[in-house]
Structure 1
């Protein structure tokens, strides 16, 4: 399966295994966050050698997870980008083979670790480091609901529709003055069941 500008690519086992390396997840995340990069610029961001980042870039490209930017760069300095479109990361599932399950666990754990790191950097960023007009633009919110599985599915679909609408509304604005790359996160999941409290009649 080839990554393209459409939504909905679920990583097949071979691509999942190719991504299952902390540095490759970091490279993939940086290409999403900062746009096209070279092996040298990624090396500077990560704190590694350009030889190491170049090796991992080729491994990601072999599975269409990233691609070379057309008409940019030279034979010595190639530019790479993450194709647009949604990528579904399958979490570790019992139906997977042990090796695929281990790969999925590495990928999801590293992505969520980087996601939390980005959130904490935002929360702890001094107000003086934020551009004018951006200080109160963000939102970090957590709430609890008591709902059924059907209601949670309905809520999930509503949130997905809001995100999809925002993607379409702001598509192609990256070159406009005053824009910044932002991260939009949406999560809704059930918590582990609480132990049932014993009634006086049961004691």
Structure 2
């Protein structure tokens, strides 16, 4: 099993090795890694304010992530006392728990995957429960949450997966480089497809938009 986290259009996706997985296998580090994707470069102090930790704690976790090239220092920004960190652009593959892994590596993969998806779910629920008054003008009807049920063969699902992946890559290529541009906001783009437990039934579709 693998999951993918994308920040910009990838050239060569990076599959995390055992060392990187173990470095990331801490809920606070996954949160820091996620915030660097969501909000762009941060310092230990700004991250501490965002997650309610001390800057000493965030600085320690930043160094642990940097040791495995999961993040890097922003060139030409900051000082020796206040360093800025960023997540390199590109796609990573998160290997899921596998019976060929050692018990320690399998546990690390479980922690990382569980925390990534917990954060994804929390972000979605925050979006769905956000009061209209908190949404800027022009953004209130921009989002879409869609679920569609249909019956596919493995080959068909692979085709759909490729089409969705190609579509996302094309969209990212079209709009890349707009960070900080007037009128833009960071958005979360998701696509999901997976098989359900065996059951009969024809295709059906539900859609929720807010």
The TM-score with structure 1 as length reference comes to 0.92
> Would you say how many aligned residue pairs link Structure 1 and Structure 2?
191
Rounded Cα–Cα distance in structure 2 between residues aligned with 1:72 and 1:32? 18
Secondary structure, aligned partner of 2:75: strand
1:94 aligns with 2:99: yes
Report the equivalent of 2:206.
none
Which of 73, 79, 93 matches 1:74? 79
Counterparts of 1:1-203 in structure 2 under 5 Å? 6-194=11-199
Q: Which runs of 4+ in 1 moved over 2 A?
A: 192-195
Rounded Cα–Cα distance in structure 2 between residues aligned with 1:115 and 1:172? 24
CA offsets per residue over residues 151-188 of structure 1, 9 Å max, x none?
Answer: 00000000000000011000101132101100111111
The TM-score with structure 2 as length reference comes to 0.89
Choose 1 or 2 for highest CA Rg.
1
Measured after TM superposition, the shift of residue 7 of structure 1 is: 3.5
* Conserved? CA contact 1:11–1:88, under 8 Å: yes
Rounded Cα–Cα distance in structure 2 between residues aligned with 1:145 and 1:194? 11
* Conserved? CA contact 1:6–1:84, under 8 Å: no
Rounded Cα–Cα distance in structure 1 between residues aligned with 2:44 and 2:197? 42
RMSD: 1.1
